[in-house]
A and B are shown apart, each in its own frame.
Chain A
Amino acid sequence: MKHVTDSLTDYLDGLLNQEESAAIASHLKECSTCKQALAQLKELFGAFEQEDVLAPSKRVREHFLEALKSEQTTKVATTLENNINVLPKKSGVRILLKIAAGIALLFGAFMLGRNQNERQANQSLATQEYKMLEMQQTAMISLMGNQSPSKRIQGVNLITKFKNPDEEIINALVNRLFLDKNMNVRLTAVEALSMFAKSETVKLAFIKALATEKDPSIQIAIIQNLVRIQAQNAAEPMKYLLEQEDTQPFVKEEINRVLGEII
C-alpha cells in the first residue's frame, strides 16, 4: 500500500468512514514515514488548539453600540433609499423595494395629507375657541347689564376666562365699579380689575373711584390695590378722603398706614 500522508488530515479530523479509517490505521502500523507524518500533523493541530483567542478592547463594543444607536434614530426613509442603491441591479428585490418605496411614498403622502387635515382642524378649533371667547365676552357684558345683582356678579366673575381682555371688557368692569348700585357688584369689579391693575385705564379708574366711592370696604380694597401697584398720584385722593368727615375711621387709619408706603 502506498503512503497515506494526503489523507492524514481527514483521518485526524474524523472525516473518513470506518473502512477508510481502518485502512489508514493498519498502514500506520507498518509505515514509519507515515507514522512520523502523523505525529508532526498532531503537533501542528495541537498548536492550533493552544492558540489563544484574543479579545478586542472595549472601544469596539462602545463604538458599535454608538453606531447602532445613531442608525436607529435615522429616518426610515433615508435607509430605504440607501438600501435600494446598495442592491445589485436587475435584482427582483430591487424592483420589489422600488414598489415598496412607491407605497411608502403614497403612505407618506397620505400621512402628510392627514397631518394637514389635522392642522386645519386645529386651526378651525382655534377659530372656534376665539368665537367662544367672543361669545363669552358678549355674555359677560350682557350679564353685567342684568337687573339681578347676582347675575351681574356672575358676569363680572367671567373675567377669569380672559387672559388678555380687550378695552371693551375693562371699560365694562370700570362702569360696574362706578355705576353699579349694588355694593357687592362693585366690590367684585374691584377684585376683577385688580388682576389688570398695571393697565393705565384701571389705575386711573381706581384713583377716580376713590373720590366717588362711599362704601368703606370698597374704599379699602381700592386703597390696597393702589398701594400694591405703587400708584404715585394716588396720594392726593387718599389725603382728600382723610379730610372728609364721613370717611370711616378705620379707612382713615388704613390710609394713614399706607401713605408712607406710597411716598
Chain B
Amino acid sequence: MKELTNEELMATVSVGNLDMLKVLFERHHKHVFNFLYKMCGDKMLSEDLTQEVFYKLMKYRTSYNHGNFTSWMFTIARNSLKTHFRQHKENHEDISSVTYALTLVQDDIESDYSTLQKALATLSASDRELIVLHRFHGIRYQEIAAIINSTPGAVKTKMSRAMQKLKSVYLKAI
C-alpha cells in the first residue's frame, strides 16, 4: 500500500478520521519536540508544548487549509512557544525584551548541550529559528517564509547573515 502523504492524512483528519492523526503524530512528534528543544533548551517545556501542538492540530483540524502540513505544524509549534514566553514574561514583569531567549540551564551546560546548541543559543530567537527550521528540519526558504510571514528572498538574506554569526560563534567555541 502506498504511504499517504502528510497532506492526505491531515485532509482525512480534518473531515473527522481522527485515527489518522496517530500516524501524523508518529511521523512528526520527534521533529516538533527537537525544534522546540533547540529553540528553548528546556526538555520538560518542549514536551509540554509538543503535546500542545498535536492537541491544537486535533482541535483546529477543520481549519486545515490543505497547504503544506509541516509548515502548518511548525507555525503552530512556533506560536505555542511564543505564547508561552509572552505569558512567562508577563508573569515575571520582564519588559526589557519582547523576544524570547534560550533558557539554558546553567548547571547542565557542560554535560547536556552540544557546542552547536550553545552557539545557537547566542543568536536571537528569530535567527535561531531560521537555522533550526532550515538546517535541522530541511524546511525550504519558501515554506519558512510562510511560517514566519515573510518572503523567500528576505528569508534567504536573513538566513545567510544568521549562518555567518553562528559560524563565527561556533568556531570560537571549538
**Known contacts A53-B34, A83-B63; A60/B29 CB under 8 A:** yes
Count of A-B contacts judged by CB separation below 8 Å: 84
Per-residue contact bits, chain B 105-129, to A (CB 8 Å; 1 contact, 0 not): 0000000001111000000000000
The answer to whether the Cβ of A257 comes within 8 Å of any Cβ in the partner chain is: no
**Known contacts A6-B160, A67-B58; A51/B30 CB under 8 A:** no
The dominant DSSP class at the B interface is: helix
By the criterion CB–CB under 8 Å, are A86 and B60 in contact?
Answer: yes
Q: How large, as a class, is the contact surface on chain A?
A: 20 to 34
By the criterion CB–CB under 8 Å, are B18 and A54 in contact?
Answer: no
The answer to whether the Cβ of B72 comes within 8 Å of any Cβ in the partner chain is: no
The answer to whether the Cβ of B92 comes within 8 Å of any Cβ in the partner chain is: no
**Known contacts A56-B46, A71-B18, A86-B60; A44/B33 CB under 8 A:** no
By the criterion CB–CB under 8 Å, are A68 and B62 in contact?
Answer: no
Q: List chain A residues, Cβ under 8 A from B63.
A: 83, 86-87
The answer to whether the Cβ of B98 comes within 8 Å of any Cβ in the partner chain is: no
By the criterion CB–CB under 8 Å, are A68 and B18 in contact?
Answer: yes
Q: List chain B residues, Cβ under 8 A from A86.
A: 59-60, 62-63
The dominant DSSP class at the A interface is: helix
By the criterion CB–CB under 8 Å, are A51 and B114 in contact?
Answer: yes
By the criterion CB–CB under 8 Å, are B29 and A56 in contact?
Answer: yes
Interface size for B (C-beta < 8 A) is 34
By the criterion CB–CB under 8 Å, are B25 and A61 in contact?
Answer: yes
Rounded to whole angstroms, the CA-CA distance of A9 and B62 in the bound complex is 39
Rounded to whole angstroms, the CA-CA distance of A211 and B122 in the bound complex is 110
By the criterion CB–CB under 8 Å, are B114 and A44 in contact?
Answer: no
Show 23 A/B contacts (Cβ-Cβ < 8 Å), sorted by A. A44-B167, A44-B170, A47-B114, A50-B114, A52-B114, A53-B30, A54-B37, A54-B43, A55-B30, A56-B29, A60-B51, A61-B29, A64-B25, A64-B29, A64-B51, A67-B51, A67-B55, A68-B21, A68-B22, A68-B58, A79-B62, A83-B60, A87-B62
Residues of B within 8 A of A (CB): 18, 21-22, 25, 29-30, 33-34, 37, 43, 46-47, 50-51, 54-55, 58-60, 62-63, 114-117, 135-136, 160, 163, 166-167, 170-171, 174
Residues of A within 8 A of B (CB): 6, 9, 40-41, 43-44, 47-48, 50-57, 59-61, 63-65, 67-68, 71-72, 79, 82-83, 86-87, 97
